[in-house]
Chain A
């Protein structure tokens, strides 16, 4: 439920942008942006990759200089550009997704680091630092030990430290990039109550987020950017995620239920009583050939842990897995791959792709033995050819397959990952949060690929935390919570609202 206040006084904005634009060489990143935010407002910025969100934030943080003609007005004072020092002095603080903390320094030092920056040889003002840190923590009603290394804290606690650091430098406006990406539901609640305190203090908060359900729920206003232009600013209680998606992409996306009744219900993967202490318990389900079965759950539900066991990366302590009726004894993921199970990791950048290596080797890595020719050699040519076949089949937009994977967009990178797994001819394909960091447009492409695979008889296990993703693209949905299967839903029979409610209950 949206408890936002849509009647915030718009007559005295804290920060406003007029006619801000930015070109990088031939590319227009931002064009004619007019935007403003009030003190104490929670504003969400949404837009696809390439819409200009990052550029906008970096201009405000002083990292980029806007093109001439635009102005930034802060507290009534006009600027044509900001340097990083000016931005900080004004109170503009950006918390990037990696939080920019020092894991080897203490909470105290991280919060008060600003006080340690000048006068290199002088003593750090320990007393003043401790006072500043305590004050920041107190204002948020937060309870963190000051002398603990930040590296040993959880993500949610680190986020608190990052926010306190902003406060210690008298932040007036706080930008947070994907702040809820790694938080459990409970931690999101805590973050939101912290944000409420900030609002009470008159600090404006801007979330950049792709989690549209959340955005609509917590924000006062939402601004949509598309291709460098501002599409509009909307009070959050007058808009929903479907409309936001349409505005972000410029297209009307019809969501239809695609669940199918399968005649040939031959079980492909059977899981019985799967248990791993502290991860998941007594999980049982049957995945049929040609079926798209989703497992939906929030962070901490044990979905990825379960997937890793099915993929052989970890061992089950109790229970068994059967593939096409035969029990599997997986000692490693190599066994799983040989049996015909493939796993697309949720962490594409670190575990899915090998960013600096070429597309060709990224695709071929899973099937090098099958490519081996005379004398057991695997020629560079055969690897490239394999990659090219998949580039064509999956519609990967790449100049050539010798390019590094990091030159591709997120959606295309994910297709490379799909390619390497499809090359193994899997019987079961496990997709773990496959569309994170992928544009709405590209998401659809991936769903199409998945549906085609299913129609060819591959059994698909789709793991996700997004209701629309699972509701409109799978045949059956299992809800996982706290390591157990908590319920089963059939799209079309149960409503997506019912699913949402169960998920967030």
Chain B
């Protein structure tokens, strides 16, 4: 009995599945609207930008690093694409290509500095984040760009369904891109060699360099990928509000990181799965949605997430201690 509970909470993903199931049960009993497709599609869509970023942050966490600068990358790439298209009439492919390149470059700089300065990545990215963000606001004057091309809108690029119940459901670009990103990240991390090297680097950095894994190469991939996904997230975010707002994501870094960590990405690296991140997003999204449906003030949601984080880390830690109590102690040096 003890070990079952210990097992569930030790594997972060299983704990999340339980949490998600509980949430579904509780809220579908409390509100008839909860377990409906339009509602579900809505709540997923609201978290699409966060999911895309959390997938990228997850990759960096697995590699053993932390990147705090990505919100600046979101804003910068978004702004670049918007300016090029709306102000200078660049063709979309070119504008998007350049913005993606900018995102990758900004991430790569983080990788290079972390590698060559030999300073822990959180500090490096605090510095680069400040530089990126400040330069961005300085260059753009924090102005917003409104006249985005028509196709760059969530509603425009979407599929509409009629359900048997008569409701319309809209599968928007946000959702489709989010799904693609999740699948792509899963493929990258589990089905490519370099993805496994990211896990290896996070699991044992000394051994990784010893056996010939190109540490800089893996870091460039991880941080560059986050930079690329930051561009994607910025694109999606602009498509939802139909403007490019440089200050929109400011201060959101820790929230995204919290989601990735709740999803099982360990701070020391080497652990976690995209599935866990998706489950974490599902859990939080349903929690937020359910609470709203039930009538809890949306102002309360921060408290809920904070408690969720504290409860989650307490459970994992207690599960670890339980696991050790039944384990015969060895004098392992």
Contact = CB atoms under 8 A, between A and B. Distances in A.
Interface of A: 84-85, 88, 96, 98, 100-105, 109, 113-114, 116-124, 154-155, 181-182, 278-279, 299-300, 303-305, 346-347
B32 interface: no
B202 interface: yes
Q: Please give me the 3 A-B residue pairs with the lowest Cβ-Cβ distance, nearest first.
A: A100-B207, A120-B194, A104-B270
B204 A123 contact: no
B324 to A, nearest CB: 12
A301 B202 CA distance: 35
A124 B192 contact: yes
B203 interface: yes
A421 to B, nearest CB: 20
B196 interface: yes
Which among A84, A102, A120, A124 has the greatest number of chain B C-beta atoms within 10 A?
Answer: A102
Interface in B198-248: 199-200, 202-204, 206-208, 210-213, 217, 221
Given A100-B204, A103-B204, A278-B328, A121 B199 contact: no
A300 B330 contact: yes
Contacts, number: 85
Given A98-B206, A113-B200, A155-B332, 5 more contacts: A85-B212, A100-B206, A102-B200, A102-B204, A305-B329
A182 B329 contact: no
Interface of B: 191-194, 196-197, 199-200, 202-204, 206-208, 210-213, 217, 221, 270-271, 328-333
A169 B221 CA distance: 27
19 contacts: A102-B270, A103-B270, A104-B271, A105-B196, A105-B199, A105-B200, A117-B197, A121-B194, A124-B196, A155-B332, A181-B333, A182-B331, A182-B332, A182-B333, A278-B329, A303-B331, A305-B329, A346-B331, A347-B333
B204 A121 contact: no
A119 B207 contact: no
B329 A104 contact: no
Contacts of B328: 278
A100 B211 contact: yes
B193 A117 contact: yes
A113 B332 contact: no
A198 B260 CA distance: 45
Nearest to B330: A300
A105 B221 CA distance: 19
Contacts of A88: 212
Given A100-B211, A104-B199, A124-B196, A300 B331 contact: yes
A299 B330 CA distance: 8
B330 A102 contact: no
A304 B193 CA distance: 43
A96, A100, A119 interface centre (most CB from chain B within 10 Å): A100
A113 B192 contact: no
Contacts of A303: 331
Nearest to A96: B210
B207 A121 contact: no
Contacts of B206: 98, 100
A118 B330 CA distance: 38
B91 to A, nearest CB: 28
A114 B329 CA distance: 33
Contacts of A116: 193, 196-197
A109 B196 contact: yes
Contacts of A304: 331
Given A120-B194, A304-B331, A84 B204 contact: no
A159 B328 CA distance: 20
Contacts of A122: 192-193
B225 to A, nearest CB: 12
B211 A114 contact: yes
A347 B330 CA distance: 13
Given A123-B192, A346-B331, A104 B207 contact: no
A179 to B, nearest CB: 13
Residue among B199, B204, B328 having the largest count of chain A Cβ atoms under 10 Å: B204
A122 B188 CA distance: 10
Contacts of B192: 120-124
Nearest to A97: B333
Contact of A299 (B191, B211, B213, B331): B331
Contacts of A117: 193, 197, 211-213
A100 B210 CA distance: 8
A181 B210 CA distance: 22
Contacts of A102: 199-200, 203-204, 207-208, 270
A120 B328 CA distance: 41
Contacts of B193: 116-124
Contacts of A278: 328-329
From B206, B207, B221, B331, residue with most partner A Cβ within 10 Å: B331
A103 B332 CA distance: 15
Nearest to A154: B330
Contacts of A155: 330, 332
Contacts of A121: 192-194
Contacts of A113: 200, 211
A155 B332 CA distance: 7
Contacts of B203: 102-105
